[in-house]
Structures are given as structure tokens and as C-alpha cells.
Amino acid sequence: MGASDITYIGMIWAILLLIPVFLINYLFDLKQFKPYVVAAIRMIAQLAFVGVYLHYIFEWNKPWVNFLYLVVMIFIAVYQSIKQTKIPFRRFIFPVILATFIPTVTIVLYFNYLIVGISDLFDAKYLIPIGGMILGNSMKSNIIALERFYGELSTNTRDYLVPISFGADRNRAVKPFVRKSILAAMSPIVATMLTIGLVSLPGMMTGQILGGSMPVTAIKYQIAIMLAIFCSNIVGVAMTLKLVIPRSFDCYDMPIKLKVKS
């Protein structure tokens, strides 16, 4: 038995949960009324739109359409990563796309073929949700890694220049910054893995249980997706940093001044 459908009246009750949000915004003078309204409206509109076209994508279930949709998702995730960190778009678009595309597609296909064991690797009901969960987490990790890397490099330039002045090459001098960036990017997913099932039930497991799956099946899927996300995050972040570093320094190995999110 699947999950009970939510009526339109139920959705109205859900929307009314915004009242405490706006009330606290007013009482504490947060001045975030417009951003909160825009965020809520965009969330509703985007999910409504997604619901409509996913219905047709799942109905058609054409491999090339499904893969194309995954590629579009990757481009959106990359765009958002670069936009959030405010680094030059043209300079970094290609390396970030490459560092997102390769681990995402590889791990999604690995998941579908070796873990789930389905014959159609591009089946919409597996490719799109699994790809979406991996991408969403990869995007967050990339944003944290890029912000930390360029923030550290800007604030602690001396820590980079001292090894360079003593003859170290760029890769050796930049290694501590890369290490800090990877650790910062992986911190949220590690924290989630340490508390998963104890503090909250994760999304995939909850969705499967509501959809009628046995709890044991839902748990196996959740373990598999968490390990896939964990792997994709660290590989994606490492690749992103590896590919953006050559574009972050001039021919004399001096850091290029970039505008990044503070």
C-alpha cells in the first residue's frame, strides 16, 4: 500500500506553516520577508513544474531523454555552485562541469548496475532520483570546498607564499589549503552518517516506507545511497579542486585575485 494522497485542503494547512516563519521574521526584525516569500513561491512552483514533466519522463522512459535530464541537472548544479561562490563563471565552468559530470554519472551507473542490479541502467525511476540525490549533495560539497579554498588562500596568502619562496612547487604549497577544503566539504555528510537513523529518518528511507516497501529494503537502499553520496562527494570535491587550481594562479605561481563569497 502506497502513501496516502494529500488533499488540496491538506496543502493549504501545509502552507499555513509559513505563518510562524513570517511572525518570527517580524518579531526579531530579520528583514527577510521578501527572500522567504520568494523562496517559498519558487519552491512550490519548481516542484509543481517538476511533478508535471517528471510524470511524462517516467511515462516515456526513453534512455536518451532520461540521460539528457540528468545532464541538465548537472549543468544546473554546476551553475549554482559557481554562482554561490561568486568565482568567475567563464574561467571555472569547464573544470567544475567535468569534476561533477564524471563522478556523478559513473557512480549512478555503478549504483544501478552493481548495487541494484537492474538491466536498464537508464531507467527513469532509478536514474533521476538517485542522480538527483547524489547531485544535490555534491553541489553543497563543491560550494563549501570552493568557498573554503579561495577564502583560505585570500586570508592566509602568506602561508602559501612562504613555501614557494623556499623553493616548494605550487602543488606542495597549496596542499594544506586543499586538505582544509576537503575536510570542510566532507564535514556535513560525515555528521549526517554519524547520526542517521538516530536523530532523523533520511529522505530515501522515508519515501520507500511511505511507498509501501519493507523497512529492511528501505534500509538497504538508504545505506547504499549514503555510501554512493559519500564516495561521489569526496571524488567530486577532489577533482574540482585539482582542476580549478591551475586556473587560480598565474604563470609565476602567484594567486590570481578572485572575487569570492565572503
Alpha-carbon distance values, 217 to 89, 116, 117, 213, 262 (Å): 42, 11, 14, 6, 43
Does residue 73 sit in the same domain as residue 152?
A: yes
pLDDT at 251: 85
Structural domains in the chain (count): 2
User: Do 236 and 142 touch, CB atoms closer than 8 A?
Assistant: yes
Does residue 182 sit in the same domain as residue 115?
A: yes
50 within a domain of the structure (yes/no): yes
> Taking Cα atoms as reference points, which of 148, 149, 131 lies closest to residue 229?
131
Alpha-carbon distance values, 88 to 46, 94, 248 (Å): 27, 11, 10
- Of 45, 60, 75, the residue at which a domain comes to its end is 60
> pTM, whole model, 2 decimals?
0.86
pLDDT at 261: 53
Residues, the chain: 262
Does residue 123 sit in the same domain as residue 221?
A: yes
pLDDT at 233: 97
pLDDT at 1: 54
pLDDT at 97: 97
Q: Which residue segment(s) compose the domain that 196 sits in? A: 62-248
Does residue 100 sit in the same domain as residue 54?
A: no
Does residue 32 sit in the same domain as residue 83?
A: no
Does residue 15 sit in the same domain as residue 122?
A: no
Q: Which residues of the chain have pLDDT under 50?
A: 262
Does residue 201 sit in the same domain as residue 129?
A: yes
Does residue 40 sit in the same domain as residue 138?
A: no
201 within a domain of the structure (yes/no): yes
Handedness of CA 236, 111, 71, 39 (dihedral sign): negative
pLDDT at 123: 96
- Of 10, 39, 60, the residue at which a domain comes to its end is 60
203 within a domain of the structure (yes/no): yes
254 within a domain of the structure (yes/no): no
User: Do 83 and 110 touch, CB atoms closer than 8 A?
Assistant: no
pLDDT at 210: 77
Integer Cα distance of 164 and 32 in angstroms: 45
